[in-house]
Amino acid sequence: MDYLRKVQLESKGSKDFVWNLPGEFRFINVQDSAVLQPITPGLWFNAQMISFPDLAATHQAWKRDFKKVEDFWVKELKAQPHMGKLFGFETSPEGLTEPFADSYSCTIYGDDQKASFEAYRHQQDPEGLFATGLGMKFLSPCAN
């Protein structure tokens, strides 16, 4: 949370993007109850960065700041992203920053989890009717 606050304060006076909401956090108790469970069971600290993007000069301005915080949390603190929020920010060679990068989404689950869920999914959805969108990125192998 200290790093988020640092980035928020650094944005004061920016003409591109000023953080306009505080971070939020809670403690959550994760149970071992799903095949596709992204984190191990136990007590976890959940932190969220939130802000109204409408106040940014461009969509890229707020995405760059969100990426900055996410990179620190994931790389320095070994955090796991909240999969129900924006995550996996990546900057393209053209300089555009976007969430849900394939290169990150494919790392959420291990190969054993992916295989186990794929077997179940094929049994329940043999025609692949529900095999679309971001969910399939989670199940995809990572390109090397």
* Confidence (pLDDT) at 34: 80
At 24 the three-state DSSP class reads strand
Q: Do the beta carbons of residue 89 and residue 65 sit within 8 Å?
A: no
pLDDT tens-digit map of 1-35: 899 999 999 999 999 999 998 889 999 999 988 87
Q: Do the beta carbons of residue 86 and residue 73 sit within 8 Å?
A: no
Residue 73 corresponds to which tokens in the numbers above? 């949390």
Name the one residue in this structure whose structure tokens are 């200290």: 2
58 falls in which pLDDT band (50, 70, 90)? Answer: very high
Q: What whole-number distance in Å separates Cα of residue 43 and Cα of residue 41?
A: 7
C-beta neighbour count of 23 within 10 angstroms = 18
Please compute the mean of the pLDDT values over residues 59-79 and round it to a whole number: 94
**pTM as predicted:** 0.85
